[in-house]
Amino acid sequence: MEEMKMNVRPTGNRGNWAKKAPAVAELGKKPPQALDLEEAVLGALMLEKDALTTVIDILRPTSFYKEAHQRIFKAILALFDKSEPIDILTVTHELRESGELELAGGAYYVTQLTTRVNSAANIEYHARIITENSIKRDLISISSEVLSSAFEDTTDVFELLDKTEAKLYEVSESNIRKNFDDMRSLMHQAIKELEEKRKQTDGLTGVPSGMTALDRVTSGWQKSDLIILAARPAMGKTAFVLSCLRNAAVDFKKGVAIFSLEMSSLQLVNRLISSEAELDSEKIKKGSLEDYEWAQLNHKISKLTEAPIFIDDTPGLSIRELRTKCRRLKAQYDIQMIIIDYLQLMSGNAEGKGGGNREQEIASISRAMKMLAKELNVPVIALSQLSRAVETRGGDKRPQLSDLRESGSIEQDADMVLFLYRPEYYGITEDEMGNPTAGVGEVIIAKHRNGSLENVQLKFIGKYTKFTNLDSDFGGDGGFNALPNSSFDTETPGAIRLGSRMNDGSNGGGGGFPASGFDEEPPF
C-alpha cells in the first residue's frame, strides 16, 4: 500500500494527489492505471518519429500515472517543441540536461521502455486508455475533496457546488477535444445547411432582431458570433437589446438569456412591460396608471409572460459563473441567444485577480465570451461602454472602433461591432440631408466579419424605452398604402426617412421604402 501512495501523481491545479491517496487506500483499491500501456506508448514514441503527432492531442504529462513516465513524456515534448529528433539517446540527453534523468528511472530504464513494444501501430488506442484512466483519477480526486468538504459545518454549500462544477468542467475541457473534420463531412454539412437556408423565405439564417433593416444586413444574429454593441451612456444600449430580446422571444419563440450586471431583474421587466404595453416608463416606475391603462397592460403583456426569457441580475458576475449558468440554460431550455449588459462590469476568474491590469482582464473576458459563443453555438451580444474621446471630438461625434474602452482585444475577438448613435443626444437636429433627427437612432456596423458594413436607421421611442422600425407608424402592414390619402406624416421621423444605405432593396422593410406602387422614391 505504501508503494501505491508513492506512485500517485500530482495533478497541478486539480488538487494534490498525495493528500488524496489515503482516501483511496482506505477503500482498499488502487487508483485506475495502466502502467504497461504507459511503458508501451513511451517506447513507441522513441521508436517511430511520427508517433507523437498521433497522440499529442490526446496525452498530457499528467495523463501518466507514474511520475517517472510524466518526466519522460515532458522530455519528449521538449524535443518536439525544439524540432529535434526523438529517440532513446536524445530523450536520455534531454533528461540529463534538465537534471531529471535519475528521477525518471535512469538511462537503463529509459532504454528498457523500447522493449515493451515492437511498433506504434496501436499507439492511439493505448493513449486513449491512458487518458481514460487519468480522467477516472481526476474524478476520484474531485469526489474525495467534495466528500471531505461536504462533511464540514463551515462549508458554503453553494460555493462548493460551483467549485465542483468548475472542476468537472475543467476535466472535461482539458481531456475531450474536438478533432479535425475531413472535407467530405464538412461539405455534406454545408450542403445540408444551404438546403435549410433555402427554405427560409425571409432570408433569416440566425436569431432575428425584429428590426427589418438590420436583419437585411445581418440575416439575424448568427450562431457562434460574438457581437459587441457599444455606445456612450444614455444612448439606449439596454433599450436596444431589450427590443431585440423581446422580438426574438415573443415573435419568433427563441429562448434568450440576459445577464444584467447594471440593472435589477425587476427594472428590466418594467422596461419590457413599458415597451410591450406602450405605456410611459415614468408611469410604470411610479405606478400611476389609469384604469384603462391597467386594462391595456394586462391585455398586452400576456405574450410577454409566456416568452422564453431568462434574466439573471447577479452583480459582479465572473466569466466562470457566466459560462456555468449558460451551459445549464442551454441544456435545460435550449436558449438561442445570450446577452450581457454590460462587459466592463464583469470580473475575471478568481485566480486571475491581482495578476494583471484591467486591460488584460477585459481581454481575457472577451476571449472567453467568444469561446462561449462557439461552445454553445449561439450568438452572444455583449454591451460595452465607449471612452470619453467621443465627447471631446468635434463634428457629429460618431463613434469609431478606436473608442472601445480598455482593450483592443474586444475589437479583435468580436465578429461584429455595432455602435448605437442618436444625433439628437448631442443637440444635432438635422442630418446631412436636412432631415430631422428627433426620435431617430442609428446602428453603425463598424465591423462585420461575415458581411457588409452598413448604417441602419431605427426609430427610438424614449417614453417606451424601445427601438423599432422607422416605418412602424405607417400602418399594420408597414407599407405606405396604409397612410390616408398617401400623405406623409411629417411629425414622425420614421415616416420621412430612408434607412442609411438600406434603401436599395425592393422588398421593403425598416429603413427603406416598402413595395407600395411607387416607381420612384417620393420627393422630400
Residue 486, in any domain of the structure: no
**524 in any annotated domain:** no
Residues 163 and 221 reside in one and the same domain: no
Domain match, 165 and 229 both: no
Give residue 97's pLDDT: 92
| Residues 255 and 367 grouped into a single domain | yes
pLDDT score, position 503: 36
Tell whether 154 and 225 lie within a shared domain.
no
Phi-psi region of 77 (alpha: psi -120 to 50; beta: other; left: phi over 0): alpha
pLDDT at 450: 84
19 falls within a domain: no
Output the domain CATH number for residue 162. 1.10.860.10
pLDDT at 314: 83
Helix (H, G, I), strand (E, B) or coil at 140: helix
**What's residue 346's pLDDT?**
82
Assigned C-alpha cell, 304: 410577454
Q: How far is CA 487 from CA 514, 516, 523, 524, in A?
A: 15, 13, 12, 12
End-to-end CA, the chain:
91
On whether both 214 and 335 belong to a single domain, the answer is yes
Residues 70 and 213 in one domain: no
Last residue of a domain, one of 157, 175, 193: 175
Active site residue 262: yes
Residue 408 buriedness (CB in 10 A; 0-12 / 13-18 / 19+): middle
30-56 residue pLDDT tens: 889 999 999 999 999 998 877 887 888
Q: Does residue 407 sit in the same domain as residue 283?
A: yes
How many domains does one find in the chain?
2
Q: Whats the size of the chain, residue-wise? A: 524
- Divide the 524 residues of the chain into consecutive groups of 10 and give the mean pLDDT of each group: 38 41 55 91 87 83 92 90 87 92 91 84 89 91 90 86 80 63 73 74 79 87 90 85 90 90 85 83 78 81 86 82 83 90 73 58 84 89 83 77 73 87 80 79 87 86 83 40 33 35 37 37 36
- Domain end call among 136, 160, 175: 175
450 in a structural domain: yes
C-alpha grid cell, residue 102: 535519475
Grid cell in block for residue 281: 416608463
Residues 321 and 449 in one domain: yes
3-state SS class at 259: strand
Tell me if 166 is assigned to some domain: yes
The helix/strand/coil state of 6 is helix
Cell of 449: 466579419
491 within a domain of the structure (yes/no): no
- Write out the residue range of the structural domain in which residue 456 sits: 202-348+359-469
Q: Is 243 found in the same domain as 341?
A: yes
- C-alpha count within 13 angstroms, C-beta hemisphere, residue 199: 5
Whether 312 and 424 map to the same domain: the answer is yes
Of 421, 447, 469, the position where a domain reaches its end is 469
pLDDT of residue 109: 92
Same domain, 230 and 372: yes
Q: Active-site residue among 132, 170, 262, 375?
A: 262
Q: For residue 477, is it within any domain?
A: no
Q: Are residues 128 and 207 in the same domain?
A: no
* Cis peptide, bond prior to residue 342, ω within 30 of zero: yes
Whether 378 maps to a domain, the answer reads yes
Distance separating alpha carbons of residues 353 and 334, to the nearest angstrom:
32
Listed residue (240, 245, 228) closest to 415, CA to CA: 228
Predicted local confidence at residue 200, as pLDDT:
66
Summarised one tens digit per residue, pLDDT across range 391-435 is 777 777 788 887 776 666 787 888 999 988 888 887 787 777 777
Query: Residue 323 belongs to a domain with what CATH number?
Result: 3.40.50.300
